[in-house]
């Protein structure tokens, strides 16, 4: 994977480049704005050691833990760290992130029935009636990505609903 730099103050790191770039990005102060946002995906930092050893992960955890302890005030002032992880275990670093104002949330995939209920709520809000089974069919065709489904529903609302969007 590659590092996605959408601007000097918005950085996105994927699982493969976290080890080589995370500390460097955290230590670089924001430029021209008050805050810098770093999104870290699937780093493995919040997991106990696994069978699959990732080279440098243990050292990164130690460096990150030390840096967070020593620089918590500066981090709170100028940095927004967002960790998106598949699995989070209660470790020292997890508690440390929470202690400096970080929030660790568990994201779960929604089941098709939950997606259907959500989409029906959206359509009813815009006074669009949906035939029985149409939402299920939409989920079967479009998949379970909520963003994709909402985009498809918005198209239908724009076509048939009262609450039209103004772009």
Global pTM reads 0.62
Helix, strand, coil abundance in the chain, percent, nearest 5: 45, 10, 40
CA distances from 6 to 26, 28, 37, 54 (A): 16, 15, 10, 27
CATH number of 4-99: 3.40.50.300
Predicted confidence at residue 8, as pLDDT, reads 67
- The tens place of each residue's pLDDT in the chain, 167 residues long, gives 445 555 568 888 886 778 788 888 888 888 888 888 888 888 888 887 765 667 778 888 888 889 888 988 888 888 888 888 877 777 788 888 888 777 776 677 788 888 888 888 888 888 878 887 888 888 888 888 888 888 888 887 777 655 544 43
pLDDT at 51: 57
Three-state secondary-structure class, residue 149: helix
The SS3 call for residue 29 is coil
How confident is the model at residue 1, as a pLDDT?
Answer: 40
How far is the C-alpha of 91 from the C-alpha of 94, rounded, in Å? Answer: 5
| Residue 162 pLDDT | 56
Domain locations in the chain?
Answer: 4-99, 112-160
Residue 167 confidence (pLDDT) = 37
């Amino acid at each position: 994977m590659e590092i996605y730099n959408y601007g000097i103050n918005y950085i996105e790191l994927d699982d493969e480049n976290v080890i080589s770039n995370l500390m460097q990005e955290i230590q670089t102060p924001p430029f021209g704005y008050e805050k810098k946002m770093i999104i870290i995906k699937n780093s493995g930092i919040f997991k106990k050691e696994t069978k699959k050893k990732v080279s440098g992960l243990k050292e990164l955890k130690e460096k990150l833990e030390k840096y967070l302890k020593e620089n918590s005030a500066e981090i709170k002032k100028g940095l927004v760290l967002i960790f998106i992880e598949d699995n989070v275990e209660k470790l020292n670093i997890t508690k440390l992130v929470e202690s400096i104002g970080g929030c660790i949330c568990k994201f779960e995939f929604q089941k098709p029935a939950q997606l259907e209920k959500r989409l029906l709520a959206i359509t009813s809000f815009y006074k669009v009636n949906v035939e029985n089974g149409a939402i299920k069919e939409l989920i079967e065709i479009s998949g379970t990505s909520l963003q994709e489904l909402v985009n498809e529903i918005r198209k239908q609302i724009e076509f048939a609903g009262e609450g039209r969007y103004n772009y």
